[in-house]
Amino acid sequence: MSPQIWLITGTSSGFGGLLTKAALAHGDKVIATARDPAKIADLKALGAATLALDVTDTEENVNKTITAAVEIYGHIDILVNNAAYILEGAIEECSPEEEFKSWNTNVFGVTKVLRAVLPYMRLCRSGVIANMGSIGGWRGYGGAGMYGASKYAIAGLSEGLRQEVAPLGIDVVCIEPGYFRTNFLAPGHRTSSAKHIADYDPVMEPLRNMLSAYNGKQPGDPEKGARVIVEILTKTGRVQGKVLPGRIPLGSDALKVIGGFCADTGKTLEEWKDIASSTDHDDVAKN
């Protein structure tokens, strides 16, 4: 099998750099991107091509960067939208400007990169797109509502896009990790809202304390996670012959959270089905 060509955003921290290394170790070629390519010089030394890409830049500049990326190897087989932004704060505390910064990276940045890459994948009638979601895209958490909302959006976007491009030979998956021992929870990687409302301290302080205490103790091994993502997206090893689902959990805690959500939802549907279905017209057959 010939080497796959990867394009990965946000490779200067978190899963991005480890995923680049895992893909290279798999024998593939990687175009690693970051706002500052100097921060990914180690990936370049390992054989990755590196480019400056700020997913919050203008559509024109993102398109130019993707064009330059395609020119390196001639095409892109696997796109991983990995760049992410954590905004801490109660919903009322978050300003419109802070909200936009969060969504500009986590959602609008993803759609800009998608629009730039998809024409090349459509031309080849092949490709795999992975959008990095989160268990926060299944359950909302007080104090992290903006982040969770953006990950809910990514899940919905991925499912819609998956249906649109499936006839063109392109796969789309939303990978939803639990807590992995990356630097994602480190204080310097979490942005807190500037506004403080004391009424929300009973929610915000326990959250901040939990995240700080949990940093470095997360159950997920990010190197193992990166290798599994490579296995999934290249459809090799244990994934060979499988049809990729639209949403893929990553980590035992992700299985627990998502499984719990599905069980709770099932109970809610059963408890409320009579009330919910009572809104139908009288000529609608009842099952």
Catalytic residue list contains 85 = no
- 3-state DSSP of the chain: CCCCEEEECCCCCCHHHHHHHHHHHCCCEEEEEECCHHHHHHHHHCCCEEEECCCCCCHHHHHHHHHHHHHHHCCCCEEEECCCCEEECCCCCCCHHHHHHHHHHHHHHHHHHHHHHHHHHHHHCCEEEEEECCHHHCCCCCCCHHHHHHHHHHHHHHHHHHHHHHHHCEEEEEEEECCECCCCCCHHHEEECCCCCHHHHHHHHHHHHHHHHHCCCCCECHHHHHHHHHHHHHCCHHHCCCCCCCEEEECHHHHHHHHHHHHHHHHHHHHHHHHHHCCCCCCCCCC
Q: Which of 147, 152, 179, 200 is catalytic?
A: 147
Positions annotated as catalytic residues are 147
